[in-house]
Amino acid sequence: MNKKRKILYKCLIVLFTYLLLELTCFIFIKTGYIPARLPTFHFVSENDFTMHLIINKDWGVWHKPGQFSYQDGCLEMDNLYNSYGARDKERVRTSTDSNRVILLGDSFVEGFGVKENDRFSNLLEKETGKEMMNFSCNSFSPLQAVMMYKNFAKQYNHNTIIFGILPFNDFVDDDIDLIGNENAYRPFLVKLDSGYSIKFTGTYNPADTFINRSKGGFKERTVRFLKAYTCWYNIISYLKLKKAENKKMRTGTAKIPSYYYDYTPSQMERLEQILKDLRKSAIGKRIIVFSVPVVQDFLRIEKEKNQPPLPEDLRKICSQNNIEFMDLLDPIRATGKNYRDFYFYCDPHWNENGHKLVADILKKQYLKTPGSP
């Protein structure tokens, strides 16, 4: 065998070995033995997560109308924001159907990381036959969601509001003492001697985007390329993240942070005021509030061995204001499945399985006669 044939033979062996490795990794992922994401075979070269977020004068962060593509870890997004900046199909303000629903919340309600048709709001619309108008936005605080409703969304005729609360960051996002020094243009609810008042931080500039961030260098693009086109790299990424999560969440004696437990009385009082304001702004409307758990909340309840106080506190507040409340922590645990199956392994948001489960849970609540147990 001459030198060229030897080189060719070795190259074929390397290629065959690589293809065999890829096939094995593909089988591991496809069968669910290793729950990593399959490659998308689609690479987004220009990748700035925040380039689709703009500033609205009335409530702060909002979407820029148009197409937006993004890749990160196990996520690939190709979102379309309609003419008024919502991740939704075009909706008319006045409809002959008054039984429409407005959805409010942050990235969980927006459907961060999943295709639009896989979101729980789209699934609810398909299963109930009612228009589910999604006005949520990633990076929204509860106050911003309510201000967006008051200043814009309520112009679309509807009879129901479904509002998602994310304890994991919503208490912090509405606390000016914790993040008010970030100099971003955004509203906060501030307690004064005379009551509560809205205070904006930063300065409004219509030319501003939410954040200007680097689109990443050669290393970051190489990593995204490997995640987009190879199974083996996705498995390595999954195993690294899993190891890091286990080390961070399950070792040591420190409590796992969870705002199902760790909120302060003043933070809950502020959220109560926001819900009261929503109730006043939506007179005669049915309001359903649900709380969103993340992985840390499940891990914390496993260690605490007792029920978190948040669901009961929120249920009491909602009851006093003629608002229906549903906590998703117990219903997700009641499935008997590993809660991790409902979240992306590389990101805290719900995956497609999570959105399907949430749609099933909320559908039962939505279809109940208001006031029934």
Give the SS3 label for residue 362.
helix
List the one residue out of 292, 314, 286 whose CA is nearest residue 370. Answer: 286
| CA-closest candidate to residue 162, choices 126, 143, 134, 128 | 134
- Strand segments, DSSP code E, in the chain are 53-56, 60-63, 66-72, 75-81, 101-104, 132-134, 160-165, 186-192, 195-201, 286-291, 324-327
Residue 30: the pLDDT is: 81
Query: What residues have CB less than 8 Å from 122, skipping those under 6 apart?
Result: 111, 116, 132
Q: Going by C-beta distance under 8 Å and a sequence separation of 6 or more, which residues neighbour residue 169?
A: 106, 259
What is the model's pLDDT at position 233?
84
b/e per residue, 247-266, with b = 16+ CB within 10 A?
eebeeeeeebebbbbbbeee
The reported pLDDT for the residue numbered 111 is 95
pLDDT of residue 358: 97
**Residue 247, pLDDT score:** 58
Pairwise CA distance, residues 339 & 325, whole Å: 21
Rg over CA atoms, the chain: 23
Residue 246 has what pLDDT? Answer: 60
pLDDT of residue 251: 47
Q: How far is CA 25 from CA 32, 39, 351, in A?
A: 11, 11, 21
How buried is residue 2: exposed, middle or buried, by Cβ count under 10 Å (0-12/13-18/19+)? exposed
pLDDT of residue 214: 43
Angle ∠(345,351,352) on CA atoms, nearest 5: 145
What residue segments make up the domains of the chain, in order of their start?
A: 49-220+255-367
pLDDT score at 38 = 78
In the three-class reduction of DSSP (H, G, I as helix; E, B as strand; rest coil), residue 314 is classed as: helix
Longest dimension (CA), the chain: 92
Mean pLDDT of each 10-residue bin along the chain, 373 residues long: 78 89 87 77 61 86 87 76 96 92 97 94 96 95 97 97 96 87 86 91 76 57 79 82 60 74 95 97 97 93 88 97 96 91 87 96 89 59
Asked: is 49-220+255-367 a CATH 3.40.50.150 domain? The reply is no
According to the model, what pLDDT value does residue 370 have? 73
Res 328: pLDDT: 97
pLDDT of residue 270: 96
